[in-house]
Chains A and B, each alone.
Chain A
Amino acid sequence: MIEFKSVSKLYPDGTRAVDDFSVVIPSRKTTVFVGSSGCGKTTLLRMINRMVDPTDGVIEIDGDDIAKTEPVHLRRGIGYVMQNSGLLPHRRVIDNVATVLFLNKVPKPQAYARANELLDTVGLDRSLAKRYPGELSGGQQQRVGVARGLAANPNILLMDEPFGAVDPIVRVDLQAETMRLQRELDKTIVFVTHDIDEAFLLGDQVLILEKGAKIAQQGTPEEILANPASDFVANFIGADRGKRRLTVDSKVKPRGDDLVLIDAGGYAAGVISAPDGKLATGTASPKSRSISNKTSQAGDA
């Protein structure tokens, strides 16, 4: 569990990036910070591994004040994945993945064995191990970044817009992979994005942030969609434009029991099965938001 207690960050140039921020981030769940550019998401994330120190307030991990932990030591126990992968261009893929293990003085053979396993875990072919990062596609580099983040088997994984720079198809793939990893490895993931759809897809808990990391609304995706707390939130999630309000298309008659759903703009948004005219119902639960593993291997090779 990560807890922010009245945390503020004032940068030396006078920017108040975070203003009196308090939140509890539960263990073994995915918490997403979503908000527009400059609202303080990265600053929040970097305070968790002390790349940025708060000017006020306390951050605790499992009840311990992180200000008392030596930053370098703290960072070696927390995975960090960033937008442009941040891989070391002069080290081969396998060495990049094993970086943290080397820093933690794990003997080479064990470190390489573990790094190879991690390539499997993130769905990368082991034949890529000997390449330099510059010789991989953007999607592959992000996977290596995730593998590196997982190397020390950290309980906490921080992800800062990790899929912001890959194309939409690979992105869907990597999102699915992240959900699979979360399920299998049971990590506490703190995920930053400015894409609300990504936030709702991945988050068990979503925090919609305004400037200064002010919390506009906090809750599960279902809660936020059902009850936007303010006009700002409604606007941000697109509810006011009716983007998410779906209606059954009365003109199209597909085969079978399916009906086509359209959004307010008139665009087809999906299908719903309606045997004998009765709409299918279900219960929202994060663990059911799984995507078939079959999709996870394709895409970015």
Chain B
Amino acid sequence: MQWVWENFPQIWALTLDHIGLSAPPIVIGFVLSIPLGYWASRSRVARSILLSVFSILYTLPALVLFVTVPVALGLAILDPNNVIVALTIYAMAIMIRSANDAFGSVSADVRESARAVGYSPVQRFFRVELPLAGPVLLAGIRVVSVSTVSLATVGGFIGIPSLGNLFQTGFQIHFFPELWAGIVAVLIVAAVFDLILSGLGRLLIPWNRRRTRRRATRMVAKEVIA
């Protein structure tokens, strides 16, 4: 504890770095996955291509991505954007699958009746399909958020500052307070992100009764295990 108080400024700075590394992939991954997931839910060909490409990318070890991304994009090896791009790819691997399920879960009856009363295709997407996909999308982004926050620690191993630095050095010099401080800080960041997301969900999806929410969580849980 003593160590934490003495090094608080450093921990705080690394926490901010960590948020800076993990928040953009969550947001960018979500935004990019919505149209791709929608496309996947509408076309069988798109679905099989997108889902298999991203499953392959997902199986690549993080360090491999961190090294290949700068080469592919022509970035400096220590540019934090490398980590952001790599984490975005991981986020999309989970989120596209989840968005595909989310849009697939909107009942055909409801889509047909929205058409029948005269929603244009764009209105139907934003006012009917997107909101109804909300519960499953929310469950998906919560999984993405936790996984991204924990993956971002790997940045530490390639010299990009994040909370991972704490457990890396803590581990190397067998200094446990620093190791523990790192772990706890990561958990706190993940928990805060999750609170923000579920709060947004409650605000934006008020009709979402307990039953549908549980079903959505189960759907995502099944996939993460699979």
Residue ID in chain A nearest B131 by CB atoms: A90
Partner of B112, one of A82, A87, A91: A82
Question: Does A72 make an interface contact (CB < 8 A)?
Answer: yes
Question: Does A132 make an interface contact (CB < 8 A)?
Answer: yes
Question: Does A80 make an interface contact (CB < 8 A)?
Answer: yes
Q: Are the CB atoms of A82 and B118 closer together than 8 Å?
A: no
Question: Does B139 make an interface contact (CB < 8 A)?
Answer: no
Q: Are the CB atoms of A100 and B118 closer together than 8 Å?
A: yes
Partner of A90, one of B115, B123, B207: B207
- Bound together, the chains give a CA A88 to CA B207 distance in angstroms of 11
- Bound together, the chains give a CA A270 to CA B205 distance in angstroms of 53
Q: Are the CB atoms of A80 and B117 closer together than 8 Å?
A: yes
- Bound together, the chains give a CA A91 to CA B110 distance in angstroms of 12
List the A side residues contacting B134 at CB < 8 Å. Answer: 90
List the A side residues contacting B131 at CB < 8 Å. Answer: 90
Q: Are the CB atoms of A76 and B116 closer together than 8 Å?
A: no
List the B side residues contacting A86 at CB < 8 Å. Answer: 109-110, 112-114, 116
Taking the closest CB of chain B, its distance from the CB of A10, in whole angstroms, is 21
Question: Does A171 make an interface contact (CB < 8 A)?
Answer: no
The size of the chain A interface, using a CB distance under 8 A, is 22
Question: Does A265 make an interface contact (CB < 8 A)?
Answer: no
Q: Are the CB atoms of A89 and B118 closer together than 8 Å?
A: no
In A29-78, the 8 Å CB interface with B consists of 49, 51, 72-73, 75-76
Question: Does A84 make an interface contact (CB < 8 A)?
Answer: yes
List the B side residues contacting A103 at CB < 8 Å. Answer: 117-119, 123
- Bound together, the chains give a CA A100 to CA B114 distance in angstroms of 10
Residue ID in chain A nearest B113 by CB atoms: A86
Q: Are the CB atoms of A72 and B110 closer together than 8 Å?
A: no
Q: Are the CB atoms of A51 and B115 closer together than 8 Å?
A: yes
- Bound together, the chains give a CA A20 to CA B155 distance in angstroms of 68
Residue ID in chain A nearest B106 by CB atoms: A89
Taking the closest CB of chain A, its distance from the CB of B9, in whole angstroms, is 46
In B123-177, the 8 Å CB interface with A consists of 123, 128, 131-132, 134
Question: Does A266 make an interface contact (CB < 8 A)?
Answer: no
List the A side residues contacting B59 at CB < 8 Å. Answer: none
In B172-226, the 8 Å CB interface with A consists of 205, 207, 209
> Given A86-B109, A103-B123, A132-B207, A75–B116 Cβ distance below 8 Å?
yes
Q: Are the CB atoms of A51 and B112 closer together than 8 Å?
A: yes
Residue ID in chain A nearest B207 by CB atoms: A90
List the B side residues contacting A80 at CB < 8 Å. Answer: 113, 116-117
**B interface: dominant SS:** helix
- Bound together, the chains give a CA A75 to CA B205 distance in angstroms of 28
Residue ID in chain B nearest A160 by CB atoms: B116
Question: Does A134 make an interface contact (CB < 8 A)?
Answer: yes
Question: Does A148 make an interface contact (CB < 8 A)?
Answer: yes
Question: Does B120 make an interface contact (CB < 8 A)?
Answer: yes
Bitwise interface map of A from 90 to 108 toward B, beta carbon under 8 Å scored 1, else 0? 1100000001100100000
List the A side residues contacting B209 at CB < 8 Å. Answer: 134
List the B side residues contacting A85 at CB < 8 Å. Answer: 113
Q: Are the CB atoms of A76 and B117 closer together than 8 Å?
A: yes
- Bound together, the chains give a CA A99 to CA B119 distance in angstroms of 9
Bitwise interface map of A from 262 to 288 toward B, beta carbon under 8 Å scored 1, else 0? 000000000000000000000000000
Taking the closest CB of chain B, its distance from the CB of A133, in whole angstroms, is 9
Q: Are the CB atoms of A82 and B116 closer together than 8 Å?
A: yes
Q: Are the CB atoms of A72 and B118 closer together than 8 Å?
A: yes
Q: Are the CB atoms of B110 and A75 closer together than 8 Å?
A: no
- Bound together, the chains give a CA A85 to CA B209 distance in angstroms of 20
Give the top 8 A-B pairs by smallest Cβ distance, nearest first: A86-B113, A76-B118, A80-B116, A75-B118, A90-B207, A72-B120, A86-B109, A84-B109
16 extra interchain contacts, Cβ-Cβ under 8 A, other than A73-B118, A75-B117, A82-B116? A49-B116, A51-B112, A72-B120, A75-B115, A75-B116, A75-B118, A80-B113, A80-B117, A86-B113, A88-B110, A89-B110, A89-B132, A90-B128, A90-B134, A100-B118, A103-B119
Interface set of A (CB-CB < 8 Å, partner B):
49, 51, 72-73, 75-76, 80, 82, 84-91, 99-100, 103, 132, 134, 148
13 CB contacts below 8 A, A to B, read: A51-B116, A72-B119, A75-B115, A76-B117, A80-B113, A80-B116, A80-B117, A84-B109, A86-B109, A86-B116, A91-B207, A99-B117, A103-B117
